[in-house]
Every structure is written in C-alpha cells, then in structure tokens.
Chains A and B, each alone.
Chain A
Amino acid sequence: MIDRIIKCLKENKDLTAWKIDSKKTESSEFFFVSTNLETNRATNTSDILVTVYVDKEDKRGSSSFFVDPYFTEEDISAKIKETVFAAGLALNAFFELPFPSKEKILKNESNLEGKNFNELVDIIAPAVFRTLQGKEGTINATEIFLYKFTNRIINSNGIDVSFASYKGNIEIIPSWAKDGKDVEVYNMLEFSSLDTKSITNEVEQALQEALDRCNAETIKLPQVNVILRAEDIARMCDFFISDLSYGSKYQKISKFEVGQSVQGDDVKGDKLSIALLPMLSSSANSSPVDSDGVVLKEIELIKDGVAQSRHGSYRFGYYLKEKNPTGLISNVKVGLGNKSEEEIRKEPYIECVRFSSLQLNQYNGFFGGEVRLAYYFDGEKKIPVTGLSISGNLEDMKKHLVFSNEEVKVKRYQGPSICQIKGIKVA
C-alpha cells in the first residue's frame, strides 16, 4: 500500500511535498471481573495518514487524509487531488519539512519483542491476582492490554524511518470493604517491558491505598504544606514545559524567555531543572523519532530555574528560526533537590496520593483537583484522609517548590520522589 501511495503522490504535480505516517497495531486484551475472565480481544489494524503540502507564493498549505483499507490507486489519486485543493485553501507561513539525519536512531528495547501476547496473560494475570492472598481486599475489575506498534514515517525530503514499540497497560480497580464502608481506588499501570514482580508490587501498593481510603477520615484540614508524588510532579512541570514550546512562543502565549528565570527572583525553595528524554525505560511513550521523522535527543529545558531552550515540532521550530528543531518528546526528567524525603516529612503536611483528575490550566497556572486519598501528618502522627480538594496558582507557588533527593522512574517521569509545595489552598 505504501508504495502505491508514494507512486500516486509523485504523479500529482500540484503538490510540493508530502509525508506518510503509517502505524500497524497488534494487540491482545483481557477483561476480568474479580478474578474471572469476562472477555478477551485481539486486534490487527493499520492506519496510514498522508499529509500533502502545497506552496503558493511565500506560503505553504497542508492538509491530510487517512488511507482507508479498500482504497485502490484511483481512490488514492482522487483523495490526493481533493486534499491538495484543501491544502491550497489552508495557507500558512512557509515551513520546511525535516531532512534525513545522520544521527543514529536508538532502538526501543523491550522484552515484549517476539512474545506471543496471548500466552503472556498466563503470567500477568497471576502476578496481579496473587496479591489478594490472605487479604480482605478485592480487585473488582482488571483490564490487561498488550500492544505492538510498527511505525514507519516517510517524507518527500528523503526521510524513511521504521521502528517498533511496545506498550502494556493494566487497569486495576482494587476495592476494600470494612465497617460498612466500601471503597475503590483507580489505577492504570503502564510499561514497555514486562516485569511481573514490579506489577505485583504496584498492585500490592494499590490494595494498601484502597485499605487506607477505607480507613480515611474526612476532617477539617489546616493550611499546611502539600506533598505531591511523581506522576503529579510531572503534571505540574507540564506548565513550564508547555510554556517553553515553540508553538507557545509563536502563538504569543508564552510567558517565559530563554535565559531568564522561570521561577522569578528570590526563589525560596529549590531551583527547577527540567530535561526532556526521548527514551525512558519506565515509559511506554519513548520514541527514537517523532511523528515528523525528526531523530530525537535529550533536551535541557530549564537549568537551576533558568530557561535554557525551547522545544517542539519541526514546523514551529522552523517558524522561530531554530537551527535544529528538537521534535516532540514525551518523557520528563526533573532535577533532584537537596533534602531527603525524611527531612521534608518532618514538618506537618498533606501528601496527595490519589487525585480524581489533577487539573492544570496551561494559560493561567491554575492547579488543583479533588483528592480521593491523602495522608495528613500533624507533626506527630500520620492518618489517611479523604474528601478534600487542593487549588492554587503555580505562578504563586513556583518559588516554594522543595524536591526530595531520592529519584524514581514512574511512567514518563524521572525525578524526585516527592515535591513539597507551600501556599496551596486545601478545602
């Protein structure tokens, strides 16, 4: 199919450039109610997205279409013609497409490579359910997804890169009933390599959190420091990462400038350091190239509170006259702080463990959400609490971030295990 598409693209004389983004997805999926299988599924599907570019005077227009599986050569040619017309109506400032790179393309290492996914459930399901032995808690629902993606990106400048990637997701809903209370905690595990021991540990922890939510009290909480954990630190850092994108600058909504402090003057807490990593062993979003075919490298975005560079798609990088636009990178590395977890936990705090959905407004820095499980430490004892929400503005809080010096890797995040924030409102 790809060869036929390229042939049709080359035959159309009205377009000036093109890109093909092809993804084949193979999956095995298993759905359990309690420990009983309800449904199993498998998929074998392909998606091919074609983008055509049309130049008129000093402008470039683009438009894209998906190639449906039944398309004949005539269908493809007709769709290209239609899309070229649309591209001519959607003209923007000119931008170049990326060219082939001499950089070596890293391989997405995964122990899922070459495995029969239908057989892996025989070891994954027991790794989840063995945690229930000897416990009063249950797992009400478990969904296991195993994916293999085969990607190929080609453009008219000569880029032609292929790579495979693997992803596993396990959605588990542990539940605990006690003294008339019956509560659950939502969890989505993610991995690119299978480690059954790690799965068991994560499910064990989730079950403990279900028990803690069951024991949690709803009390009036004082305004004390708030502690966030890894995934929520990554979410918080998205505020800075998003602002330092090429697109944010081009669209005039960026507040920070390269060379200036993103935390303002007189930083009371730790100075923030953020890098973007193409490959991270805990992340299922690792990729050696982005969707434009740009070969990705680690980017130092913020160092000791000062913005070092911008990042983003090749197109917006071109608009900002960047020599080597970085491409789009998903994984985040945050610099460690100076205090240990133990030191940070000496003062009273509320440690947020499970949000229903932590919200961040990229424009104005609003940050908050409903907390379904937290631990409140009053200086002497720690108790689980629920029924609270936190809210604040990162613009106000960014001077007061204190990071731990212990490092963890969780999904797309590598960095301090916890972050203490002052000045966030608890209700």
Chain B
Amino acid sequence: MTFSKFLASKHDAAKTLVNKLLQRYSYVSLLGTHVTGTNVAVMTSLQSVSDTNERQCGFVVKVFTGKNYAEYSFNNLDVNHLDELEEEIVKGITISEGVTAEVVKTTTIDDTPLVKTFYRPVEGKIPSIEELMQRLNKIKDKAHKYDSRIIQVRIMYGFYEVSKMFISQNRDLCQNFAWTNVYLFPVAREGSNIKSAYTVAGYNNPMKCLDEIEKKVDSQCQLCIDLLKSTFIEPGVYDIICEPSITGLIAHEAFGHGVEMDMFVKNRAMAKNYINKYVASKLVNMHDGASATLSAASYFFDDDGVLASDTLIIKDGILQTGISDILSASELGTKPTGNGRRETYKRKAYTRMTNTFFSAGTDKVEDMIKSIKHGYLLCDTNNGMEDPKNWGIQCTCEYGREIVDGKFTGKIVSPVCMSGYVPNLLGSISMVSEEVVVTGAGHCGKGHKEWVPVSDGGPYIKARCKLG
C-alpha cells in the first residue's frame, strides 16, 4: 500500500496549474483523488468480484473569482495541455453577471503554509481474491448449515485505499490510508413470512473484519429466525435502552446533522440558537472528528486541505460548538474543523460529520435493563433522516426486545420507528453505560444525496421516546 503513483506523477503539473490560475484568481486550490480497491460478494446462488464502489480518479479545482467561489471537476491533468485545461476551467466556471450580482459575503480562505505527507498502514494481512472467495464461501456454508429456514445469505467484503493530494499557493499535502468493511445479510423464510438481519464489521484490518463476521454467523442466523416471530410494536411512549448502534444513530441523525455549520450559514439549523445552552441531559457528551477515533471516517486532512480534528460538540449536556467546512467557516468567521467532505471529486464539499459518538458514562448495562418497568432494548440501525431546522426525529431500528419488570420477555418487535423532538429525547437520557462502541461501515447522505463514509456509536443509553 503506497500513495497513488498516478497522483504522484501529476504533482508537478498540478502545482503548475495552480500557479497559472493564481495569475487570474486570488485563491486557487486543487484536490486530486485516487481511490482503488476491491469488492467481493458471495451469495447463496451468486458470487462476484469487482472494483470498489468507492472508486474514483480525478481532480477538482476551487478558485475565488473575486465575487464567489467556483469549482471545476475533471479527470485528467496532462502536463502538455495545461493551457487548454486552464481555458476549459475558465470557460466552465464563467457565468453571467446577473447571477453573481448578489453573492454570499465571505472572508478569504485561510491558506496558512503547510507541507506534509500522511500515511496510515493497513493492520495485518490483505487477503488475496482466492483467499477471500474461500473464506466468504465458508461463512456462507456455515450460515446455511445453521438452519434450513435460512434461504439466502449474502456476504460482502469491501476494501478500499484512498490517496488524496491537496495543493494551493501555500499548501502541499498528501495522504494515504485504507479501510475494510465486511457485511453479513442472512434471510430466513417460513412460508410467505420473510425476515432479514444484518451485521457489519469495519476496521483498518481486513482479517479482523472477516474473523468478527465469521464469529457472528450463528447469532445473526438465530436473530433472523427469531425475527420470523416478531410483531409490530403497539405505538406509544416507552422507556428505552439503546444499544451502541442506536445511540450512534441518535447522535448522528437526530443531532449531528443539526450542528453541520453550513446549515448555520443557510439558517437551516435550530442548533445555531442553542450554543452554550442545554440541549441534552447532563450525562451527555458528544464528539465528532476524523481524528476523534480510528474508524471509517478517519483521515488526516479534509477535502479543503484542513487538518482533521476532534470536536467536543456537547459537554455535560451543553452545546459547545458545531463542525464546519472551510467555506462555511469563512462565511461565519469561525475556525474550520476539518469536516469539509466531498462524495467524490465530482461533487461540492459540504460540512459533513465524520466519526460521531456519545462518550461513556458510569452505568452498568444490566442495571439499566433492570431499571425498566415496561420498555424495549432497541437494536441495529435500519435508517435515519435528519431534520436540523425543526429537530424532528426519524430513526428506525431493525428490532426491539421487550423488557418487563427489568427482564426480557422474549418478545421481539420489528422494525421500530423512533419519533419525537430531539431535545426531549436527549434530555430524557437518564443512564449511560461504561463502554463506547463506534461502528464504521455506513454511508451518510445530506438531504437525499452526497454520500460519504461515516461512523457513529457510543455507549448504551437509557431514555424515553415515542415508538411506532
């Protein structure tokens, strides 16, 4: 694993292009991205090998035109055709004066000098395609042997290696790192009753991912079988215990999107009015940052060339600050936090979460369960949707286990939708467990687009919420 030879070969041409454009524009930066990798999927009746879904290879130039910021995305950077490329860029980003008559007020982007190369080696061995096919087929066979009602099994391995190069007048940064996700989806069928389960392992260590998934085969197949007997929940307000993936879902969807500070610029976030105010119970502390922990969204610098950080968003229930990309920070007059991320080099950078999680507390999980008179342990993220302006919650859990008088009854409900008002939910958190688990294998959109890898998590939490 090494920094992309392609990007390295384009470094000097990129520097020359930036300098040429600096003759026209007061700020110019160039981001080169090269992501390679492999996806291997084994299903009950199919198998496949392909390039990673994360694959991308290209460049984006950002300039300040004197009125507004403009960008141009392209594939190739040929040192022998830089004049033509410069002309193409200028033509591509030139728009009529009518549109630029009123622009967003901004300050100059910080371009403090920094020249640095970052590298994070993969831990352990990277398996060959042959080894992967054997291992994934073994996992599939194990799942089918568990119970004849398991009619479909899908195991997906995804490894990708990221190289990025950021060049501006004063900055020259390179980074190289990798990540692996392995997913297991068993499907059980009894007549026309079909239920599925899933689990995921995401680490900077391919073999650790495979080992963890193999260990979970039996429990996931049993969950799938148990779900065949699941019912819908009777809608109502309940005491709940959230396992770490649901805690992470709440941190990310219910609250995290609302502290993305490009939403502050657009007057789209209620959180803007709550800085230094209580937004959660005093037991709640929340972080976001590419350097906050090692997970799927850990990098060294963001797509604006800003170094990664660890932002303490909520401290003892009080909202401290949001997170930002460089453009939003320059518009708000704040310091960027290293959260400027692009889906690919073809898309705009927005403020995006990275690794988002609640901090640990002091409670024991068994004590939390014992404290429930009638409620549910909510497990496994299905999906979530943000509502930063109005702090509405939509978080769907794959299933919930009923608790009555501090004990599991054996009843499972599936799926379970949480809804309500974010501060009410966060304010109701009354117990927080000791251990934090951050899971890094998902992707997050902004609105309904701009998908980037993220992780989230936290401890078990006890709260009260409307379920349906």
Q: Which residues of A contact B (CB under 8 A)?
A: 25, 28-31, 33-46, 62-66, 68-70, 85-87, 89-93, 118-119, 121-122, 125, 138, 140-141, 171, 173, 175, 182-184, 186, 188, 250-253, 255, 356-357, 359, 361, 363-364, 366, 368-370, 372, 386-393, 395, 425-427
Contacts and interface: CB of A to CB of B under 8 A. Distances in A.
B126 interface: no
B4 to A, nearest CB: 10
Interface stretch (B209-217, B281-289, B390-398): B390-398
B49 A366 contact: no
A387 B468 contact: no
Contacts of B304: none
Interface in B228-273: 232, 235-236, 265-268, 270
B417 A369 contact: yes
Contact of A42 (B92, B417, B466): B92
Q: Which residue of A31, A34, A253 has the most chain B CB atoms within 10 A of its CB atom?
A: A31
B72 A41 contact: yes
B468 A425 contact: yes
Contact of B69 (A38, A89, A182, A369): A38
A37 B104 contact: yes
A63 B72 CA distance: 32
B346 to A, nearest CB: 5
B98 A42 contact: no
Contact of B70 (A41, A138, A425): A41
A90 B47 CA distance: 5
A379 B144 CA distance: 54
B231 to A, nearest CB: 10
A186 B446 CA distance: 11
Interface of B: 6, 9, 34, 40, 43-51, 55, 57-58, 67-76, 88, 92-96, 98-100, 102-104, 129-130, 133, 151-152, 187, 189, 192-196, 232, 235-236, 265-268, 270, 327, 331, 346, 348, 382-383, 385, 387, 389-390, 392-394, 396, 414-415, 417, 419-421, 447-449, 466, 468
B261 to A, nearest CB: 13
17 contacts: A28-B92, A29-B348, A33-B266, A37-B68, A39-B69, A69-B57, A90-B48, A92-B45, A118-B96, A251-B44, A356-B385, A361-B415, A366-B232, A366-B415, A368-B417, A388-B419, A425-B468
A383 to B, nearest CB: 18
B325 to A, nearest CB: 11
Contacts of A426: 235
A389 B418 CA distance: 9
Contacts, number: 227
Contacts of A184: 268, 389-390
Contact of B129 (A34, A89, A255, A364): A89
Contacts of A40: 68, 70-71, 93, 95, 99
Contacts of A364: 193-195
Given A43-B72, A118-B92, A140-B268, 7 more contacts: A41-B70, A41-B348, A68-B6, A121-B96, A184-B390, A357-B448, A391-B235
A357 B267 CA distance: 22
Contacts of B466: 389, 427
B92 A140 contact: no
B213 to A, nearest CB: 19
A363 B196 contact: yes
B74 A370 contact: no
Contacts of B267: 34, 138, 140, 175
Nearest to B345: A45
B151 A38 contact: no
Contact of B232 (A30, A38, A255, A425): A425
Contacts of B387: 356, 372
Nearest to A425: B235
Contacts of A122: 96, 98-99
Contact of B71 (A41, A63, A392): A41
A188 B447 contact: yes
Task: Identify the 5 closest CB pairs spanning chains A and B, nearest first.
Answer: A427-B235, A42-B92, A370-B394, A427-B468, A356-B385
Given A40-B93, A89-B49, A253-B152, A393 B348 contact: no
Given A37-B104, A140-B267, A359 B392 contact: no
A370 B385 contact: yes
B316 to A, nearest CB: 27
A388 B393 CA distance: 10
Contacts of B99: 30, 37, 40, 121-122, 125
A207 to B, nearest CB: 15
Contact of B51 (A28, A43, A66): A66
Contacts of B195: 363-364
Nearest to B230: A364
Contacts of B419: 370, 387-389, 427
Q: Which residue of A65, A68, A173, A253 has the most chain B CB atoms within 10 A of its CB atom?
A: A68
A175 B6 contact: no
Contacts of A141: 266, 268
B468 A389 contact: yes
Contacts of A118: 92, 94-96
Nearest to B227: A364
Given A175-B267, A364-B193, A357 B383 contact: yes
Q: Which residue of A119, A188, A369, A388 has the most chain B CB atoms within 10 A of its CB atom?
A: A369
A29 B449 CA distance: 14
Contacts of A31: 348
Contacts of A68: 6, 34, 57
Given A251-B152, A370-B392, A370-B394, A44 B189 contact: no
Contacts of A46: 75
Contacts of A70: 6, 9, 57, 76
A182 B389 contact: yes
Contact of A87 (B9, B49, B193, B236): B49
Nearest to A315: B46
Contact of B74 (A34, A44, A250, A388): A44
Contacts of B50: 63-65
Contacts of B129: 85-86, 89
Given A89-B49, A364-B194, A356 B394 contact: yes
Q: Which residue of A38, A90, A140 has the most chain B CB atoms within 10 A of its CB atom?
A: A38
B96 A119 contact: yes
A65 B99 CA distance: 41
A62 B48 contact: yes
A393 B29 CA distance: 51
Contacts of B55: 66
Nearest to B384: A357
Contacts of B152: 251-253
